[in-house]
Chain A
């Protein structure tokens, strides 16, 4: 894991290897924080539910649990609990395929999910998950018959100037006579990622829902075999979209993923509906040296919020000792002293400052009004 959880010998529970492993960032979130934050206290405030998990199935395709956060991606096998740590996890035996599964226990899962909640708060605090374009349609309602040249025709989508942009294709259409389905190929860096079939609607614009998300390096292509389509007379301006570049292309070759593509600026009958957003995951994981302290302070703050509100309605000895309302209120309200809340705000401010210097300036959030308070 990027963030680590330090052993503090306060609980008999043995945490799983994912939590116990040395964090790649070198950062232990529970070390160097308020002394009330220890493993036993955390486990006595986090949700306590008696859970049982379904047995592993060799025919089920599991996703990475911390990404999916789906209970189905945790299974029981040989009287032990395993957590899927990779997507496309099919027919990988939990006990032996350690690249796909990690043996865990319910306490480790509860801690890991809380850490994910902390991550989500950091994303929200720093406004790192920002929608750049919401449901933008890229199409032209054409009525000019045209035979597409070469072997393939494509829309090419490229994140603009940043690897932190994700592009999701919500809908897709093909304006073409007839109703015979055609194949649509989704390609990234000469690799065919997915093939879907799309049925035209007798020359009408008819969008079909899809769920294709591009993120990562390189351009992404949505490709069809060259065929007769209906187009308009407009040209495509590839630079008019925030967060990504979109243009059309035609390809020559034996297969869509290996064809040579030539870029152009006219329509090809394909229409798409696109949402582009900043995906902060990579950014945060690559810049933890700047954001690590913010993570730890947010973790500390959220733990104290949980102590104060007892949000999971726990009732036990640790809970009773820690739930001293006056002390917790002081830690969560007093911004003047060195409290949990003051550390949280200070680290958040530092992280935002660092982010402004390093994050893709083209994609920064400049919305809203900033008010600077000076001396009167």
Chain B
């Protein structure tokens, strides 16, 4: 299921366009159910665990999206009822040169079960999953962002989040990776 905002604005609007393209095209090349999420929030969770240095807050965070139907937040980590989950991780500081076009460093994080998305292959096709995503990103709306890199392993991709509670070892058939993009968006169309 692609969990889209009905009236996205600004950064969310640009992300929603990419989210639609990704979901539609990945559904053609990957088997199984895909869960797509837009921009997720760093939501605090009181765990009593020590605070990581890289995220100075009194609390630990999980990536969560706001499910308006349930009137509640839900985390967007991997769900083994699906074959793949992806979401957009954003930073808190976006830059602009002209107060019109803003640039945001965004990571599109993927958590997939390779045996489900490629059921006919017994080998670990992690690079194939990364290639499929990269090709889609290159083919659609490429003028709105630059691909700046790729990250792998769940603890590295989600290093700003609490990952100790996730039962997701980056071993076959599971795989986590992220495409890093610099994304441009408008908050307003007034010049």
A interface vs B, CB < 8 Å?
A: 44, 48, 50, 310, 313-317, 319-320, 323
CB distance from B31 to the nearest CB of A (A): 10
Alpha-carbon separation in the docked complex, A201 to B80 (Å): 60
Q: Beyond A48-B80, A48-B81, is A317–B74 a contact (Cβ under 8 Å)? A: yes
In this complex, how many residues of chain B approach chain A with their Cβ under 8 Å: the count is 12
Contact yes or no, A314 B167, CB < 8 A: yes
Interface of A is mostly: loop
Instruction: Determine the residue in chain B with the shortest Cβ distance to A326.
Output: B48
Alpha-carbon separation in the docked complex, A50 to B82 (Å): 11
Residues of B contacting A50 with CB < 8 Å? 116
Residues of B contacting A313 with CB < 8 Å? 167
Question: Which 3 A-B pairs have CB atoms at the shortest separation, nearest pair first?
Answer: A315-B167, A316-B79, A315-B80
Q: Which residues of chain B (38-83) have a CB below 8 Å from chain A?
A: 74-75, 77-81
Q: Which residues of chain B (84-120) have a CB below 8 Å from chain A?
A: 116
Residues of B contacting A323 with CB < 8 Å? 165
Residues of B contacting A315 with CB < 8 Å? 77-80, 166-168
Residues of A contacting B79 with CB < 8 Å? 315-317
Q: Which of A44, A48, A314, A320 contacts B165 (CB 8 A)?
A: A320
Instruction: Determine the residue in chain A with the shortest Cβ distance to B74.
Output: A317
Alpha-carbon separation in the docked complex, A319 to B167 (Å): 9
A-B contact count (CB 8 A): 29
Residues of B contacting A319 with CB < 8 Å? 167
Instruction: Determine the residue in chain B with the shortest Cβ distance to A310.
Output: B167
Instruction: Determine the residue in chain A with the shortest Cβ distance to B168.
Output: A315
B interface vs A, CB < 8 Å?
A: 74-75, 77-81, 116, 165-168
Alpha-carbon separation in the docked complex, A317 to B167 (Å): 11
Instruction: Determine the residue in chain A with the shortest Cβ distance to B167.
Output: A315
Instruction: Determine the residue in chain A with the shortest Cβ distance to B75.
Output: A317
Contact yes or no, B80 A317, CB < 8 A: no
Alpha-carbon separation in the docked complex, A102 to B23 (Å): 37
Residues of B contacting A314 with CB < 8 Å? 80, 167
Residues of A contacting B165 with CB < 8 Å? 320, 323
Among the interface residues A44, A317, A323, which one has the most CB atoms of the partner chain B within 10 A?
A: A317
Alpha-carbon separation in the docked complex, A128 to B47 (Å): 44
Residues of A contacting B168 with CB < 8 Å? 315
Residues of A contacting B77 with CB < 8 Å? 315, 317, 320
Instruction: Determine the residue in chain A with the shortest Cβ distance to B115.
Output: A50
Instruction: Determine the residue in chain B with the shortest Cβ distance to A315.
Output: B167
Alpha-carbon separation in the docked complex, A314 to B77 (Å): 12
CB distance from A26 to the nearest CB of B (A): 33
Residues of A contacting B74 with CB < 8 Å? 317
Contact yes or no, A320 B80, CB < 8 A: no
Alpha-carbon separation in the docked complex, A136 to B75 (Å): 61
Alpha-carbon separation in the docked complex, A50 to B167 (Å): 19
Alpha-carbon separation in the docked complex, A313 to B79 (Å): 12
CB distance from B16 to the nearest CB of A (A): 22
Alpha-carbon separation in the docked complex, A317 to B165 (Å): 10
Residues of A contacting B80 with CB < 8 Å? 48, 314-316
Alpha-carbon separation in the docked complex, A310 to B168 (Å): 12
Instruction: Determine the residue in chain B with the shortest Cβ distance to A320.
Output: B165
Instruction: Determine the residue in chain A with the shortest Cβ distance to B64.
Output: A317
Alpha-carbon separation in the docked complex, A323 to B80 (Å): 16
21 sampled A-B residue pairs with Cβ under 8 A:
A48-B81, A50-B116, A310-B167, A313-B167, A314-B80, A314-B167, A315-B77, A315-B79, A315-B166, A315-B167, A315-B168, A316-B79, A316-B80, A317-B75, A317-B77, A317-B79, A319-B167, A320-B75, A320-B77, A320-B165, A323-B165
Alpha-carbon separation in the docked complex, A337 to B79 (Å): 34
Residues of A contacting B166 with CB < 8 Å? 315, 320
Residues of A contacting B81 with CB < 8 Å? 44, 48, 316
CB distance from A329 to the nearest CB of B (A): 14
Alpha-carbon separation in the docked complex, A230 to B81 (Å): 67
Alpha-carbon separation in the docked complex, A48 to B78 (Å): 14
Residues of B contacting A317 with CB < 8 Å? 74-75, 77, 79
Instruction: Determine the residue in chain B with the shortest Cβ distance to A319.
Output: B167
Among the interface residues A44, A310, A315, A319, which one has the most CB atoms of the partner chain B within 10 A?
A: A315
